Chains A and B, each alone.
Chain A
Amino acid sequence: MFGSNGSRRSGWVAALVAATVIGACGGGAGAPGAAGSASPSAAGSVAFSGTILFGAPISLTGSTAKEGGLTRDGYDLWKETTNANGGITVGGKHYVVDTKYYDDESNAQKAATLADKLIKEDKVNFLLGPYGTASTLQVSTVAEKNKIPMVEANGAAESIFSQGYQYTFGVLSPAKNYMKGLIEMAVAQTPKPTTVAILTADDPFSVEVADAARALAQQNGLNVVYYQKYPNNATELRAPLTETKARNPDLFLNSGHLAESLAIMQQAKELGLSPKGFGFSVGPSIPDFQTTLKADANYVAGGSQWTADLKYNGNDLFKTPANYNAVYLKRFGYEPAYQSAESTAAGVAYQKAIEAAGSLDPTAVRNALAKLDFISFYGQIKFDDRGINIYKPMVVEQWQNGKKVTIWPPDVANAKPQWPAPPWSSR
């Protein structure tokens, strides 16, 4: 109907260039905006003798922009709270905490490049982690090469910690624990589920979670009727959901990210996929899950690193989960997801380690990190030989009538699991 001229051939050439550029840039070409400001002392009488600079590449744009934002807010709350309470004390002197972030555009390679820039050009004293396993894995190599510690809070795959690296520490529970509570909770319900379908994103973290879930499901007597990987970040999942529906599982588990969890709930409803329970590794704990899905979020459960309902009495500035929740809500105007809490916990771990080391020497702080063992508002922080925190348990949250409650394990739960979920047709 339109367009026919001699330039068609050059059009195709340009088109191929186009496809390459689109692919390479992932569509989001955010300028690497450096954020972070040295806030002057807010601690009244305390005079600061210097600054400790923490750097992190974070996904502020791109596919995990939401999660990256939660991570940044977690770091910022730690910085502000610490500075308001006299900063970090090293050898009797008070140091103010400052942070420098770069946007890695949800691109792991870019995260590594930016981490290098943070160390070499911005001369950061220490690294905080990026968001996500893929980026954390890349940055851990940069940290190791430069012998600068990184305490990270958002990369849970054990592949990060199986490289024999000495300078990377993760405050969060490892990937294999993400679905543990969900499965244990499900098999304790009546009617007891007998079959499970597992859909997982094809990235190292999600696959680790899903493989552990499959093994655990089998140990708990569940028949795995469908196990399928999908391309990372795919949100068109009607095909595998139609396949899932044909197998009529009692329990549906997804190991992926927020965007996919939303797509799955929307498309499952459209297709009439109604298992007795929906469980996600990532998604339900983030407020967007409910604000986007509204009533369709009800009955959905998710593994969570932390909730405000936990009863820790921490030896840190925030003390209890409830207090952290209140401080966070006051500062940002929304309740914290676990992604924020664990990010704050990474800062808290640094503070303890630096004060214990009595020095800003990277190796001394690294050694102090390796010896840490204390209870924080986030739970126990202690690293095994590989650098991951296997000591903190995970919990299960569920959306019930528009409210997020903790349903598992029973000793910390503040509500009973709602099971089974009614089919879509009768909601």
Chain B
Amino acid sequence: MDLVQHVLNGLLQGFIFAIIGLGFSMVWGILNIINLAHAAFIMLAAYLTYFLWAGPGVDPFVALPLVMAALFVLGYVIQSRIINLVMRASVLTTFLLTFGMEALLVNVALRLFTADNRQTKPSYANVSLALGDLHLPYTQLGAVVVALVVTCLLYLFLDRTRTGSSIRAVGQNKVAASLIGIDLGRTYALTFAISAALAGAAGTLLSTTSGFSPPSFGIFNILAFSVVVLGGLGSIPGALAGGLVFGLVSEFAGTYALQEREVVVFAVLVLVLVLRPTGLLGREGYR
């Protein structure tokens, strides 16, 4: 029974990890930006969800699309007004730029919101569906639904729509894409905005499962990075698989070698990179 509970713990966590990884993967794969502000976007979304709940009493799952929309706009503005200015520079430039944004956002949040711990706590927060001795937290079950819906929608959008195709085209070859008339700046901004919206979904979900303060989100950059490496850069199913595998590895490392959890998790990461440099589901090309 414990074993089943461990598997469930790992998988349920994994779906939230997948959402975090998905946004990170998109921006990295298409824009070649390692967005170190991703965790700060998650943080902003968590606070937005919290204030919508603590003030007007908006349920976090109702707030979810609103928060995603807000983060979408923020992401669009940041990419089109700031990052687009340095898109031609080396990857290290955007790396440092987003690192600076992360520091700025976290410290502004610390000033505005203080280091007080908060949690969006509707009546069902931390409450589980009990199946005999097995416990499935409702918010995490909600996260599974959100992760699956968002992943499917994103897949269809990129695969079936004209705008989606242009995003993929930019990911494959920027020069060729601009030659056939794709507006690069606008496509960059749109991609970054979608990624920020995904961070928004993750932030809303996380704000109900755990207590948070501005510094507590830093861990999610490393996590997103690991999920993408595990699953494979530039692959939507890869981000999903990466999240789930990361969740499971982390849970079982935590069960049998808790003190060495980080060692085990990152050893698995290195192993995957050695045996399969493109990650579990990553492929040269796309999809």
Chain A residues with a Cβ under 8 A of chain B? 1-5, 7-8, 10-11, 14-15, 17-19, 21-23, 26-31, 60-63, 65-66, 68-69, 106, 202, 228-231, 234-240, 242-243, 245-246, 258-259, 262-263, 266-267, 269-272, 288, 291-294, 296, 425
Whether the pair A61, B215 counts as a contact (CB closer than 8 A) is yes
Whether the pair A1, B287 counts as a contact (CB closer than 8 A) is yes
Residues of A within 8 A of B158 (CB): 1-2
Using known A-B contacts A27-B102, A63-B215, A271-B128, determine if residue A7 contacts B171 with beta carbons closer than 8 Å.
no
Query: Interface segment, B64-72, B77-85, B91-99, B142-150?
Result: B91-99
CA distance A167 to B103 in the complex (A): 36
Interface residues as binary, B233-270 with A (CB distance below 8 Å gives 1, 0 otherwise):
11110000000000000111111001101100000000
Residues of B within 8 A of A23 (CB): 222
CB pairs A–B below 8 angstroms (16 shown): A1-B168, A2-B30, A3-B29, A5-B32, A27-B217, A27-B221, A30-B103, A65-B213, A66-B117, A106-B215, A231-B262, A236-B250, A239-B250, A243-B2, A245-B2, A293-B119
CA distance A241 to B125 in the complex (A): 18
Query: Interface segment, B55-63, B108-116, B178-186, B196-204?
Result: B108-116
Most central of A23, A259, A263 by chain B CB within 10 Å: A259
Interface size on B, residues (CB 8 A): 80
Whether the pair B219, A27 counts as a contact (CB closer than 8 A) is yes
Whether the pair A231, B258 counts as a contact (CB closer than 8 A) is yes
Main secondary structure of the interface of A (DSSP, over half): helix
Given A22-B218, A29-B99, A239-B252, 14 additional A-B pairs, CB 8 A = A18-B95, A19-B225, A22-B221, A22-B225, A27-B39, A28-B103, A65-B214, A239-B250, A246-B2, A259-B213, A272-B128, A291-B117, A291-B118, A292-B119
Residues of A within 8 A of B285 (CB): 4
Asked if B106 is at the interface of the complex by the 8 Å CB criterion, the answer is yes
CA distance A281 to B159 in the complex (A): 53
Using known A-B contacts A4-B284, A14-B34, A66-B213, determine if residue A28 contacts B106 with beta carbons closer than 8 Å.
yes
Whether the pair B261, A238 counts as a contact (CB closer than 8 A) is no
Interface residues as binary, B163-188 with A (CB distance below 8 Å gives 1, 0 otherwise):
00001100111100000000000000
Partner of A269, one of B117, B127, B225: B127
Residues of B within 8 A of A66 (CB): 115-117, 213
CA distance A165 to B284 in the complex (A): 60
Residues of B within 8 A of A269 (CB): 126-128
Whether the pair A238, B9 counts as a contact (CB closer than 8 A) is yes
Whether the pair A238, B13 counts as a contact (CB closer than 8 A) is yes
What is the distance, in angstroms, from A298's C-beta to the closest C-beta of chain B?
14
Residues of A within 8 A of B30 (CB): 2-3
Whether the pair B36, A18 counts as a contact (CB closer than 8 A) is yes
Partner of A3, one of B117, B133, B286: B286
Residues of B within 8 A of A270 (CB): 126-128, 135, 137, 140
B226: nearest residue on chain A (CB-CB)? A19
CA distance A262 to B214 in the complex (A): 15
Residues of A within 8 A of B140 (CB): 270
Whether the pair B215, A62 counts as a contact (CB closer than 8 A) is yes
Using known A-B contacts A3-B171, A229-B259, A425-B130, determine if residue A235 contacts B99 with beta carbons closer than 8 Å.
no
Residues of B within 8 A of A7 (CB): 32, 91
Using known A-B contacts A3-B29, A243-B255, determine if residue A266 contacts B211 with beta carbons closer than 8 Å.
yes
What is the distance, in angstroms, from A85's C-beta to the closest C-beta of chain B?
29
Residues of B within 8 A of A246 (CB): 1-2
Whether the pair A230, B258 counts as a contact (CB closer than 8 A) is yes
CA distance A66 to B118 in the complex (A): 12
Partner of A291, one of B26, B116, B219, B284: B116
Partner of B106, one of A18, A27, A240: A27
Whether the pair A2, B127 counts as a contact (CB closer than 8 A) is no
Whether the pair B210, A239 counts as a contact (CB closer than 8 A) is no
Residues of B within 8 A of A202 (CB): 259
Residues of B within 8 A of A26 (CB): 218
A9: nearest residue on chain B (CB-CB)? B277
Whether the pair B258, A240 counts as a contact (CB closer than 8 A) is yes
Residues of B within 8 A of A258 (CB): 117
Whether the pair A29, B103 counts as a contact (CB closer than 8 A) is yes
Using known A-B contacts A62-B215, A272-B128, determine if residue A236 contacts B286 with beta carbons closer than 8 Å.
no
Whether the pair B222, A288 counts as a contact (CB closer than 8 A) is no
Residues of A within 8 A of B262 (CB): 231
CA distance A294 to B126 in the complex (A): 12
B174: nearest residue on chain A (CB-CB)? A5
Residues of A within 8 A of B128 (CB): 269-272
CA distance A52 to B12 in the complex (A): 56
Whether the pair B34, A18 counts as a contact (CB closer than 8 A) is yes
What is the distance, in angstroms, from B195's C-beta to the closest C-beta of chain A?
11
Whether the pair A236, B13 counts as a contact (CB closer than 8 A) is yes
Most central of B118, B119, B217, B235 by chain A CB within 10 Å: B119
CA distance A267 to B219 in the complex (A): 18
What is the distance, in angstroms, from B175's C-beta to the closest C-beta of chain A?
10
Whether the pair A11, B91 counts as a contact (CB closer than 8 A) is yes
Residues of B within 8 A of A266 (CB): 119, 125-126, 209-211
Using known A-B contacts A229-B259, A292-B118, determine if residue A21 contacts B225 with beta carbons closer than 8 Å.
no
What is the distance, in angstroms, from B226's C-beta to the closest C-beta of chain A?
9
Whether the pair A15, B117 counts as a contact (CB closer than 8 A) is no
B251: nearest residue on chain A (CB-CB)? A239
Which B residues, 9 to 33, have Cβ-Cβ distances below 8 Å to chain A? 9, 13, 26, 28-30, 32
CA distance A272 to B126 in the complex (A): 10
Using known A-B contacts A11-B28, A240-B258, A296-B126, determine if residue A65 contacts B115 with beta carbons closer than 8 Å.
yes
CA distance A296 to B125 in the complex (A): 11
A334: nearest residue on chain B (CB-CB)? B116
CA distance A28 to B1 in the complex (A): 40
Whether the pair A65, B36 counts as a contact (CB closer than 8 A) is no
Whether the pair B251, A238 counts as a contact (CB closer than 8 A) is yes
Partner of A30, one of B110, B172, B173: B110
A105: nearest residue on chain B (CB-CB)? B215
What is the distance, in angstroms, from A72's C-beta to the closest C-beta of chain B?
11
CA distance A66 to B126 in the complex (A): 23
Partner of B95, one of A14, A61, A271: A14
Residues of A within 8 A of B114 (CB): 69
Whether the pair B218, A28 counts as a contact (CB closer than 8 A) is yes
CA distance A19 to B26 in the complex (A): 18
Most central of A1, A231, A240, A288 by chain B CB within 10 Å: A1
Partner of A15, one of B2, B133, B225: B225
Whether the pair B29, A2 counts as a contact (CB closer than 8 A) is yes
